[in-house]
Structure 1
Amino acid sequence: MADKAALRDEVKVAPFREARSREYFAAASTALSRETVRKVRELSAVAAVEVVDAASVRIAGVPTAVLGVNPSTFRNYAPRPSATSDEIWQGIAAGRIALSEDVGKQRELQLGTDVTVAGGKGEVDKQVWTHATSGVAGIDALISRSAAAELGFPRGNGIIVSAPDADVWELGEQLADVLGPDVGLQVLAEQPQPRPQQSAGEAVADSTLETMISAAKSKIGQPYVWGAEGPDSFDCSGLVQWAFAQAGVSVPRVTHNQWWAGEHIDYAEARRGDLLFWRTDPTAPDYISHVAIYLGDGRMLEAPGSGDVVKITNVRLANMAGAVRVHIDR
């Protein structure tokens, strides 16, 4: 965290009250109507809804997905190590920016330094206040809603849905009905019940997986770059998405969403072409944060991190979340 002494005494946020689960994130290109948000709140399984502003802006020249939040209320939805820290939310309320662990460290954006944030209304400089994961897959920075308005974010175009006792997949169908086809919807729950097998399609054929693996191997030696999707540099999930695309298979872009791209299996049951996942973010211990392609015999292909390259390594068991056998709809 940057210098806490720099915070003004008058910067106040509400204390952490209770941990709210995060089952879904929904975002649209324009503001969600009050009526739509009301209908979501009234779903029987929904315990709480947090309204946010969501947009992609350029941070230090790189496109980055950002949420504008109310620090006093959003903190209750954040992973616990971040939620309980008053200083994180005071800094955001004071106009600073909180970057995810991945963005801050992989891009070497140092605490206490200023970064240029370019939005629809121009550029502003924001101090990097802390590295704190939002808990929302694909979102790599948090600012206040007033800062989001300054940058030209749509107002209230996103919601976080807490429904801790819901059947996650049934709730997803209900949310899709309420929100409509133009609103993006993604599951955030870290460990919900398994996806019903009948809705998960069929496992990708071995021949297709070999095409995917060959494509990934052709990029051995290419540099890791956070947010890169190829063809000359990659981050971990970018490599997976690109390699599957070369075999004609579409998988989600970010690691947490790739975790839901098929059937969850134990590593002991993993076969060549399955995806392996880890939880490595100390600011969000339950969050899926790294992915690799399993090659069999204890070997895997991955884009490891900043300063490294795409390469084949031994499988690491520490902090492993499990494996996924990718499925496609038929």
Structure 2
Amino acid sequence: MADRPPVTAPFSPRAATPSGSGTYPSPPVADADRLERTIRVAPFDEPRSREYFAVSAVSLDRELIDKVREIDGVRSVEVVDAARIKVDGVTMSVLGVNPSTFRNYAPLPSAKSDEIWQGIAEGRIALSNDAGTQRDLKLGSTVAMAGAQGTVDKEVWTHATSGVAGIDALISRASAAELGFPRGNGLIVSAPGADLWQLREDLRKVLGPDISLQVLAEEDPGPRRYDAEGVPASEEVIERMIAAAESQLGVPYVWGGTTPGKGFDCSGLVQWAFRQAGVEIPRVTHDQWWTGEHLDYSEARRGDLLFWRTDPTAPDYISHVAIYLGNGKMLEAPRTGDVVKITDVRLDKMAGVVRVHVAE
């Protein structure tokens, strides 16, 4: 994670949340002068919201995709190719996208950059800001992508978060085919203004139980303030979780890390600590945002999770998580080059607080 400012003014969730209105500069690319521009990429049209990501192990039937498009409230659907493969020796989640159309679903700083999407169309890879910076994969460097059909070298073109939670990199659908990705096994669903929970039920009815469904919406959806059944975790569970996290103090930050004594990233530490207390929560920071009731920092109590929006390439994206210890202190795995430690709570760019719920 990039360095974050210390505690500043009194916390206001709306004021602290970046708008993504275009005031953030587009992420830099390796070298725009080397673009051939023989592949046409359509200009940015208009921003499309991202409510859900659906993904299957196999290609989705066209009829099924058409049924999703017909769901009440759905404005548009973007078809992508999704796979987990090794990039520079580390397993990453990668999407193969049509640069001309997917760009409309991307965060604005990236969506408006013709150079980013032209580079992807010409066979380069766009790493998320987190994957690129934390793993020190510099622009213009080459990474080996090991897919089902062999290994292909790709130039790191930019560090730009896609806006799809848990996705570490974007390539073109042509590049995805070259690597042996399933064809058309993922969908980005845009349904601005729809009831988020009703939409989920409608999608489940159409897609069936074998297709994974992930909420992508960034903002609180309305009257139902969380996506978690059950009750808040008990004090006993919270104390076991915190004790587990404290046992890892001094362990290095490692991007993608989930291994006690060896390395954690922010969300990997939180997931592991809750698991030691008998509670399973998702792996990705954005998904952890939906594990309980959303609260203001003024309501936070020991064991709650604190979240931030600190990614300059995706200003509305939930990008960091820490465990609140009380009395203005928190426990976190901060960034590459640092270790798991206890620090003062930072209010700048804080998205909010989540009280994790467990089954009754």
With normalisation by structure 1, the TM-score equals 0.98
Determine if the alignment matches structure 1 residue 123 to structure 2 residue 147. no
Give the whole-Å Cα distance in 1 for the aligned partners of 2:187 and 2:251: 37
Determine if the alignment matches structure 1 residue 328 to structure 2 residue 328. no
Partner residue in 2 for 1:223 = 252
Give the whole-Å Cα distance in 2 for the aligned partners of 1:146 and 1:81: 24
AA at the equivalent of 2:156: V
Partner residue in 2 for 1:153 = 181
Secondary structure, in 3 states, of the residue corresponding to 1:323? strand
Q: Percent identity?
A: 68
1:266-291 CA deviation, whole Å, 9 max, x = no partner?
A: 00100000000000000100000000
Q: Please say if residues 37 and 118 of structure 2, whose CA atoms lie closer than 8 Å, have aligned partners that are also in contact.
A: no
Q: Which residue of 32, 43, 53 corresponds with 2:71?
A: 43
Partner residue in 2 for 1:206 = 235
Partner residue in 2 for 1:172 = 200
Determine if the alignment matches structure 1 residue 245 to structure 2 residue 275. yes
Give the whole-Å Cα distance in 1 for the aligned partners of 2:122 and 2:250: 43
Structure 1: which 5+ runs fail to align?
Answer: none
AA at the equivalent of 1:193: G
Determine if the alignment matches structure 1 residue 110 to structure 2 residue 163. no
Secondary structure, in 3 states, of the residue corresponding to 2:267? helix
1:50-76 CA deviation, whole Å, 9 max, x = no partner?
A: 000000010100000000000000000
Secondary structure, in 3 states, of the residue corresponding to 2:59? coil
Deviation of 1:198 after TM superposition, in Å, equals 9.2
Give the whole-Å Cα distance in 1 for the aligned partners of 2:304 and 2:227: 19
Partner residue in 2 for 1:303 = 333
Partner residue in 2 for 1:271 = 301
1:27-69 CA deviation, whole Å, 9 max, x = no partner?
A: 0100111111111000011000000000001010000000000
Deviation of 1:12 after TM superposition, in Å, equals 2.2
Give the whole-Å Cα distance in 2 for the aligned partners of 1:195 and 1:22: 19
Q: Which residue of 282, 301, 315 corresponds with 2:345?
A: 315
Give the whole-Å Cα distance in 1 for the aligned partners of 2:306 and 2:227: 23
1:165–1:129 Cα change, 3 Å: same
Give the whole-Å Cα distance in 1 for the aligned partners of 2:265 and 2:223: 27
1:188-233 CA deviation, whole Å, 9 max, x = no partner?
A: 0110225366963210001100000000000001111001112221
Q: Please say if residues 194 and 264 of structure 1, whose CA atoms lie closer than 8 Å, have aligned partners that are also in contact.
A: no
Structure 2: which 5+ runs fail to align?
Answer: 1-28
Partner residue in 2 for 1:195 = 224
Q: Please say if residues 99 and 141 of structure 1, whose CA atoms lie closer than 8 Å, have aligned partners that are also in contact.
A: yes
AA at the equivalent of 1:246: Q
AA at the equivalent of 1:291: V
Deviation of 1:176 after TM superposition, in Å, equals 1.0
**Which moved further from structure 2: 86-95 or 27-36?**
27-36
Deviation of 1:9 after TM superposition, in Å, equals 3.2
Give the whole-Å Cα distance in 2 for the aligned partners of 1:329 and 1:278: 26
Q: Which residue of 254, 260, 278 corresponds with 2:290?
A: 260
Deviation of 1:327 after TM superposition, in Å, equals 0.5
AA at the equivalent of 1:214: A
Q: Please say if residues 227 and 234 of structure 1, whose CA atoms lie closer than 8 Å, have aligned partners that are also in contact.
A: yes
Partner residue in 1 for 2:19 = none
1:76-116 CA deviation, whole Å, 9 max, x = no partner?
A: 00001100000000000000000000000000000001100
**Aligned residues, how many?**
330
1:285-304 CA deviation, whole Å, 9 max, x = no partner?
A: 00000000000000000000
